[in-house]
Structure 1
């Protein structure tokens, strides 16, 4: 009898120890949050390749040591690792079975995540913050994310998320403080909150920049009275900017690189928002801090008539006499920028000894040559036909003067499409070589037309690469920062100064648009005081208005029957692809070279300049 009792006790303790041992390895029942995190969230986020950060999420590592997550108990006390290894907060055994343990924060920025957003994120009742920015997450934002009732901070920036934003995102409105979705590929119209009077009282940061969102300005945002920072840049929003925006106490605003048009609301003369907050929109966008809106200035009837005349195609043509006046004005200037000197050199190239004539268009019949010569002026725009000046007459009126120059000097070949294509291909090959032809890739960082040399045979060569390696870093960074004023700077470089191959690709895209359109990007006029020319926005507007063929430079179109067959349209698409706001969408320079080579102009004979021989031209372009 005693032996039987001994055996019963022995087997009882044996099985009890075995059960304890099994609990340590594989929990029999897990709390809902831990089960969701390991069973659903981890596989979805890491996709097919295991993430090093997520590898700590397993039963052999104490829950308090799992990387990228923070836990809290139902009473609000945080889960912390203690030095006492016997503490229940250290072992997985007790925590796997503790239903009061909840996920508080998911922080995995730059964690090399390649999966998708799991819909189960909406099931965490106490989840307050999700930081999954700067990864490679794809797919759409799940509808269920809007069910995370405690979520206050959500940052999904810098991924490859697509599709439309689910309306349920505004279910988070009551708790939401910061919502950042910058640098994805979200598209469509922003959905409005389900409740028409929703104010999202706690929301301070809203960042939808760098996507493909469209439609008019989401006016419901003007009801978010607590908003401090708003970024809608680099999308395809259109229409007007609502006046209600001035009622918000915004400290940061970026509406640049969209298709906004019309008059800006009055932010006041002491507004903290400069022209960079609105650059890259429709040319018709006007009002402080941009150009004045036509009709809003109180000019005399003669001045208004003069402006209308100047804006008509042609306006007033002045030749040699105006050149002499401008050269005299240039000599009186005490400070000249590098651009001023280059513009002056360009004017000096025009022969001032020939006879010029004044052509006056309808409405300006009373203008005299003497009045024009006595006017004070500044450069507004440079085109293939010449330079446009804004001139102020002695009576206070304003007119626009266009100085035409002769494009055919003897021996100067025309820049038709075949020659422009050869130049563009040469630039692309050089840039691709810098990126991939060296043991250590070279980032140019300052691609623009001024850094391209073209010889008599239209071979292009890049200059000014690698110079940042021998310069003081602060000076090199300043040069990169300055590039934004020239219109070649990628959107992501507005918030960081370090260049990369994709920012070079963006600058090449702008340069290719410049070759196709015959327009210089960036600020126009002397000292960059004129209008900002955003080439991608001009193309977007032309596509929407179905006037794409009008964006090409007339000289490039000479002798071309079909822009589609000759590769012009393909080159335009390629340039816009290079200028994509999202870096991951842009092609590599090797791909650019391949596409340009596959879409050469049919008229190859145009590659021969008057000085080339047939044997010279055998060199492949």
Structure 2
């Protein structure tokens, strides 16, 4: 056996032994068992593009690792590795990450059997292993995941029966077992959406289960019920006349009760909240797993009847109010504009998709409310407001955001956008990345807000060309001129955000100062060419900043805001550059590309032709805020 393979095998044996014996995060000797478990997972995977390159067995804290998300208390809460071309097997050591709430490994080439140790993840809410090559049976241990909301095992090679234990999970919203080789009877799974299409041994069975007409299986559906109904449906000839007479009498009374009930129901319906199940039927008691359905009355009381004194922010999507629920929980309630633009069922579907995006640096959706006249979203309250507000705050004569916090905000925002672009399925384009939409939690860590709302409110448009949403000064030129949005649109907005962090100024207000011409980006580029970057730094920092990091952040901003979208980096590249990996090479390559143009004409056209000088513009600045915070 080659030395490298022997070393790998020895490490694997050691890690597995540590995994099987662990019961706490840290041992007395300081070993972090979450690190051990993650390294065991890494060693069982083939990683052709080195996406797990910074997973280091010598690290004490895995929270900075790519594709790993931690909760506020420092435990690993999410493992997101979708669409990374990974192969190999899923290590049983995943069962030691007992604080996991989300596991998303879809769209890879993972094989082997599903480890029964997944059943140890008692806090798990989302498990997505779809579109892989897993085989064998579905572990019955999954039935112990009482907090599970979304289970996707579709498009694998799983066989055998669907375990009866899944019927024990009461909070399921979606179960997708489609396109496998499952057989046998189906348990009564209490999921609102239960997909079994593409399992020929079930759909083509002698029970004549029709899976071709649709993927949604009714909650009460069981093959045994169908079989029993077909047997009991043929009554004896002697009982038929009695049944007819008895049925006629009961039918008349029932009809009378229904008519009276309908009259009373129609009278009360006007002021009722309307919620829908997946088939569009009214259901006020519907369960949405980790999402909560709030009543309009409850949110109105929490916000003191949407009192203007409780307004946290206003924008193109709606108004955000601070609210206090009956149990004392402080929340942020977004009251959306244009409620008639999206129906109740469509709204609920889109909201559920948004809620699946779970990441340390994304604003978590707690719940929502939908009525005939209202659409509201409920989020956790962020005590430190937004980056935009904190950039103008001072504490004892010093800015509330020192340089280290600004650097951390930049990196956290980049990681959140990376998740939306490259780790979400389907991906989410924010379309309005700016300081006002980056919120700050108790520790001043960045939390990206308002993601998914562009698609939510523009659902009738295509996923590529939609009404322009954003803020002048932050909008990429191709988006403003054509309405074409992409991940590179968000990259541009992120570049402007970096400049806001560096300068401490708002891009929209920038041109109002008499000694500044044009938009912020052009001004910073001019000072960069004159080797006067020290003039760009927020004066409130008073030289208390890292000059190397400052220069690097400006360079990353320039790369992100290049005129042609194809020349801008992906967010995964941005994260690596902010972490200190690959910026020098990328910057040098860009400078070489720019050199022929600069030699041919020093009076080159400005990069941002889509915005005239703000000083000369006749536009009212407040009127061109196309969207707003939260």
Considering the TM-score relative to the shorter chain, is it more than 0.5?
no
TM-score scaled to structure 2, two decimals? Answer: 0.30
Tell which structure's C-alpha radius of gyration is larger: 1
